[in-house]
């Protein structure tokens, strides 16, 4: 950085100081210009007051005494969780967790909702706390779709309580759950598609048990319009912005 508090070259190659401050996410470019003119910006320990001063990516920039750093880009992935893996970082009783399926660089990611030990399917993990909150809080009503194999042969009238929203778990009323009876692969077993906008602990298993149709297999196939597709067991995919918007829809 070739500049002092009062003068210096603005023609050297590099990035305008106010743009660099904005790019680092500290404030808007216009606000950065104000801080520069007020003498509240330092580059490599020197106060800079000249607008248009050029800096490079290695220059140390401080605004009002706070040194700025590159804002880390949030990472969001989808994982095909297999049965037998916990959605926890560590459990003394279970060696296999979803984090053992991921490279160490993703171990800081947090799950947006969980799947129990014996369930499988689509799991989203992210470093974006706001996204996690949105995908998990019932008030946002993001739909989650499950493929469920139950014991027995339920008829529509047997499952009508799911759609009425009159069922309760832990003394709390459950939101309505949409269902579709798909097929009966063998005697005394039935595939059902369930869609719900909330996810209490072991909700599907406990509700179906109450209705008399215990769950034999459970797989989450979609969150919003983001589908698991043909992603293999134990494999993950880094999500782009378009994928995240599908999950939010």
Q: What pLDDT shows up at residue 88?
A: 87
What positions carry a catalytic annotation? 116
Q: What pLDDT shows up at residue 8?
A: 45
Q: What pLDDT shows up at residue 1?
A: 54
Q: What pLDDT shows up at residue 22?
A: 85
Residue range 15-67 forms a domain whose CATH class is alpha beta
Cross-strand pairs, 77: 125, 238
The C-alpha atoms of residue 58 and residue 144 are separated, in whole angstroms, by 45
Tokens of 102: 């991921």
Architecture of domain 143-223: 2-Layer Sandwich (3.30)
Q: What pLDDT shows up at residue 100?
A: 94
Go through 184-193 and write b for each residue having 16 or more CB atoms within 10 A of its CB, e for each that does not.
Answer: eeeeebbebe
The C-alpha atoms of residue 201 and residue 213 are separated, in whole angstroms, by 18
Mean pLDDT by 10 residues, the chain (249 residues): 46 82 84 94 95 92 90 88 92 88 91 94 94 87 94 94 84 89 92 90 92 97 96 96 94
Distances (CA, A) of 38 to 50, 55, 165: 10, 18, 60
Q: What pLDDT shows up at residue 198?
A: 81
Count other C-beta atoms under 10 Å from residue 91's C-beta: 11
Contact by Cβ (8 Å): 199, 207? no
Q: What pLDDT shows up at residue 164?
A: 85
Residue range 72-141+228-249 forms a domain whose CATH class is alpha beta
Domains 15-67 and 143-223 share a fold: no
Count other C-beta atoms under 10 Å from residue 145's C-beta: 21
Q: What pLDDT shows up at residue 7?
A: 41
pTM above 0.85, yes or no: no
Q: What pLDDT shows up at residue 13?
A: 67
Q: Domain residue spans in the chain?
A: 15-67, 72-141+228-249, 143-223
Q: What pLDDT shows up at residue 79?
A: 98
Q: What pLDDT shows up at residue 241?
A: 92
Closest Cα to residue 194, out of 170, 175, 210?
175
């Amino acid at each position: 950085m070739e500049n002092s508090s009062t003068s210096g070259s603005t023609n050297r190659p590099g990035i305008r100081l106010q743009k660099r401050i904005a790019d680092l996410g500290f404030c808007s470019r216009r606000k950065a210009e104000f801080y520069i003119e007020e003498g509240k910006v330092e580059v490599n320990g020197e106060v800079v007051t000249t607008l248009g001063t050029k800096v490079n990516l290695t220059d140390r920039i401080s605004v009002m005494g706070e040194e700025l750093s590159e804002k880390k880009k949030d990472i969001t992935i989808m994982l095909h969780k297999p049965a037998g893996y916990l959605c926890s970082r560590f459990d003394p009783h279970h060696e296999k967790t979803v984090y053992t399926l991921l490279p160490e660089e993703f171990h800081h990611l947090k799950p947006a909702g969980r799947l129990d030990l014996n369930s499988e399917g689509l799991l989203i993990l992210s470093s974006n706390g706001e996204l996690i909150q949105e995908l998990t809080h019932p008030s946002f009503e993001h739909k989650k779709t499950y493929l469920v194999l139950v014991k027995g042969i339920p008829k529509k009238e047997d499952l009508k309580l799911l759609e009425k929203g009159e069922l309760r778990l832990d003394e709390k009323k459950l939101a309505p759950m949409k269902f579709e009876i798909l097929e009966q692969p063998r005697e005394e077993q039935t595939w059902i598609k369930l869609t719900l906008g909330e996810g209490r602990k072991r909700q599907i298993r406990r509700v179906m048990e109450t209705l008399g149709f215990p769950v034999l297999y459970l797989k989450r196939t979609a969150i919003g319009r983001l589908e698991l597709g043909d992603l293999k067991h134990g494999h993950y995919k880094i999500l782009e912005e378009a994928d995240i918007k599908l999950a939010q829809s």
